[in-house]
Structure 1
Amino acid sequence: MKNSVNKLFKASVVLLLASSILLTACGEKDTSASSSTNGGKPEVTELRYQGGVGSVSFPELADDLGYLAPLKLKFIGNTISGPQDIQAVVTGDTDFGGAFNGAIVKLIAAKAPIKSVISYYGVDENTWTGYYVLDGSPIKSAKDLIGKKIAVNTLGAHHEFVIKEYLHRAGLTAAEIKDVTLVVVPPVTSEQTLRANQIDVAALGGVLRDKALERGGIHPLFKDSDLFGIFSAGSYVLTEKFIKNNPNASGKFIEATAKAIEWARTTPRDEVVARFVKIIDARGRKETADTAKLWKSTGVAGKGGLISDKEFDTWIDWLVKEGNLKQGDFKAQDLYTNEFNPYLNEKK
């Protein structure tokens, strides 16, 4: 399974990169007005991005709080896939996108010209993902997952990496790990699919996990927090070209997002939730704010989304172990920058 997924991933990246080059060669519209600093004025007026149904991202919060001005956000659609979101940045369909750090490493290894600039989600005592089985399930350990099916939201992202790490730590061989099947299931239907015995394990987090636990009859086989503790798991990326041509816009985006993260971290929860609900109601996308009402924490480890080496080293090492990278191909500091983060010189 791993080989087929890797082949599909590599093929998609080749096509994405080729299409990006073709668009540029054919006179793709250059969104950068100038590569000069222009006295600190952003070189562009808007940033294109993808959102999530019923959720508010930190750039969206930053925009609502007034931190992003004079930049504006331009919503082009929703996504539930981190890998897809950052691939859209590579092709030029969006200006920024976010994904699990392991997926970012993999895309950069495929020669994608992107760089992580700020963490935006992670795991803490309130925000985590559990991998759930039905009460009474014969699955008690990693070994019991051989020949079984696990539901994930997408391949090549957070859930897959965590599952594989759990299996590796339990001592399963590469051949045994191949016999654990990952099945892509929309998060909103994962619980139902588990209860219908169509899968053996479901990855559940946030409101979906909490509602499933209220209904009872399930328990976690393991949690991502059990494996890694508190850590930032994903980052927003920009292309290297965008950063070079638009340093002021890049800096403004990162500064505003960092301030929004700290606002959410330090503001009473009820006030944060009320702000999320207001944003969702005002944008008119025909969605419910039910998920936002159950928000608990940012999950971001570093102050203002500061990125640390360990948040990439973990996944570089993992990809070396999987055979996707060679030892020494990348160093963590090659993959990210904290240059524009206003909290860089403060303690985390």
Structure 2
Amino acid sequence: MPAALTSTTTSRRQFLTLLGISAAAVSCGRATASGSGGQVTTLKYQGSVGAVTLPELAADLGHLGDLKLEWIGNTISGPQDIQSAATGQIHFGGAFNGAVVKLAASKAPVTAVISYYGSDQHSFSGYYVLEDSPIRSARDLVGKKVGMNTLGAHAQAMLEIYLGRGGLSKADIDKVESLVVPPVNTEQALRQKQIDVAVLGGVLRDKALAAGGIRPLFTDFELLGAFSAGTYVMTKRFVKENPDTVRTFVTGVAKAIEWSRTTPREEVIARMTDIVTKRGRNEDTATLKYWRSYGVAETGGRISDKEFQVWLDWLGKRGDVKEGQLKAADLYTNDFNQYGKG
């Protein structure tokens, strides 16, 4: 098996270890030093190669005011990003809401403050097979390999929902092998038949479709309709000690979300290309031309109970969290989102 592919069992164990952090680890976070005014004025964060995150866009648009962003590197996955936020290595991190649920279930005192990605008719994750693949239904996936960016998160949740709706038993679902493949290598792994199904989203999906030779088996948008899927989280301690900073950050990101919705796509892409070029990290900007949407469902990225409840139910059914242990309303706050409030 190529080094880029990781087995389900090993990666799931690593994922659970990743989220099994203690409250003591969280309480000794390193990214909590205050600025001269008593509140943090520079937020440490992780970025994404060749892409522009909403906070980066908000900063470039001037929506963060005097608040600065300090890039410390690129994240390898959502669960890794929010663990880094929970342990204080960065001030905010973003992940699939199911990963946020698992982090909260491990007693990490974090709270979600704004949605930052989701699925709509323009931005969605698709499960793609080769054009001549015999795979046509959920039943055909038994014994097959599905490549995705990380386990126990968005991609695997959608896959299991699809398989369940397709009538597969738990025993059969367990025979569908999920493998971790870096997003930039997923298309190649499919075309070289190292995997049978590739989970592709955003610009990587559109780039692969433009090359031809693949077709969708299903998409998360087809499964659940338009929905916000991931949120930025901060520690509760940081939020309590830096309310003005959090308000500026959240409202700025909300403004960036709405700017991306109401601005002509070509202008958004041009702005993103300029941002990536200016930061000088030797990144390829070619894939930015495929950008269509961040996929956030609610106005200004506000969070609702339903965006967490679906994953509370899914994780409870899997036995990953105790049913009734958490309430959706306790996992997030919209108190700092001033978008549309004057």
**Fold match, TM over 0.5?**
yes
Deviations 1:212-245 (A, max 9, x none): 2222221111111110111111100011010011
CA contact (8 A) 2:207 2:290 kept: no
| Counterpart selection for 1:11 from 11, 17, 41 | 17
Would you say 1:173 and 2:163 are equivalent positions?
A: no
| Counterpart selection for 1:31 from 30, 33, 37 | 33
**Cα offset for 1:326?**
2.8
Judged with a 3 Å threshold, the aligned counterparts in structure 2 of structure 1 residues 174 and 51 are, in CA distance, closer, same or farther, namely: same
Whole-Å separation in 2 of the counterparts to 1:315 and 1:171: 20
Q: Secondary structure at the match of 1:122?
A: strand
List aligned pairs for 1:309-320, cutoff 5 A.
309-320=305-316
Whole-Å separation in 2 of the counterparts to 1:316 and 1:46: 33
CA contact (8 A) 1:42 1:249 kept: no
Judged with a 3 Å threshold, the aligned counterparts in structure 2 of structure 1 residues 340 and 19 are, in CA distance, closer, same or farther, namely: closer
Would you say 1:232 and 2:228 are equivalent positions?
A: yes
Alpha-carbon RMSD across the aligned residues, in angstroms, is 2.0
Q: Secondary structure at the match of 2:207?
A: helix
Task: Report the AA paired with residue 279 of structure 1.
Answer: I
Specify the alignment match of 1:38 in structure 2. Answer: none
Would you say 1:218 and 2:214 are equivalent positions?
A: yes
Whole-Å separation in 1 of the counterparts to 2:282 and 2:237: 35
Whole-Å separation in 1 of the counterparts to 2:45 and 2:32: 16
Q: Secondary structure at the match of 1:291?
A: helix
Using the size of structure 2 for normalisation, the TM-score is 0.92
Q: Secondary structure at the match of 1:49?
A: strand
Whole-Å separation in 2 of the counterparts to 1:117 and 1:15: 21
Deviations 1:140-189 (A, max 9, x none): 11111111100001112211111111112222222211111111111121
Whole-Å separation in 1 of the counterparts to 2:31 and 2:176: 45
Would you say 1:208 and 2:210 are equivalent positions?
A: no
CA contact (8 A) 1:130 1:204 kept: yes
CA contact (8 A) 2:98 2:308 kept: yes
Whole-Å separation in 1 of the counterparts to 2:136 and 2:230: 29
Whole-Å separation in 1 of the counterparts to 2:131 and 2:180: 22
Judged with a 3 Å threshold, the aligned counterparts in structure 2 of structure 1 residues 300 and 196 are, in CA distance, closer, same or farther, namely: same
Deviations 1:92-130 (A, max 9, x none): 110001001111111111111111100011111111111
Using the size of structure 1 for normalisation, the TM-score is 0.91
Whole-Å separation in 2 of the counterparts to 1:20 and 1:313: 25
Whole-Å separation in 2 of the counterparts to 1:30 and 1:79: 20
Aligned length: 336
| Identity percentage of aligned residues | 56
**Cα offset for 1:211?**
2.2
Q: Which runs of 5+ in 2 are unaligned?
A: 1-6
Deviations 1:4-43 (A, max 9, x none): 655433433335655444x46xxx5741359xxxxxx771
Q: Secondary structure at the match of 1:112?
A: coil
| Counterpart selection for 2:55 from 56, 59, 62 | 59
Task: Report the AA paired with residue 257 of structure 1.
Answer: V
Specify the alignment match of 1:282 in structure 2. Answer: 278
Specify the alignment match of 1:292 in structure 2. Answer: 288
Deviations 1:251-307 (A, max 9, x none): 111011111111111111111111111111111111121122221122111111011
Deviations 1:61-80 (A, max 9, x none): 11111111211000000113
CA contact (8 A) 2:19 2:102 kept: no
Would you say 1:304 and 2:300 are equivalent positions?
A: yes
Whole-Å separation in 2 of the counterparts to 1:10 and 1:193: 25
CA contact (8 A) 1:16 1:91 kept: no
| Counterpart selection for 1:273 from 263, 269, 275 | 269
Task: Report the AA paired with residue 79 of structure 1.
Answer: T
Specify the alignment match of 1:254 in structure 2. Answer: 250
Judged with a 3 Å threshold, the aligned counterparts in structure 2 of structure 1 residues 319 and 344 are, in CA distance, closer, same or farther, namely: farther
Whole-Å separation in 2 of the counterparts to 1:16 and 1:86: 14
**Cα offset for 1:323?**
1.5
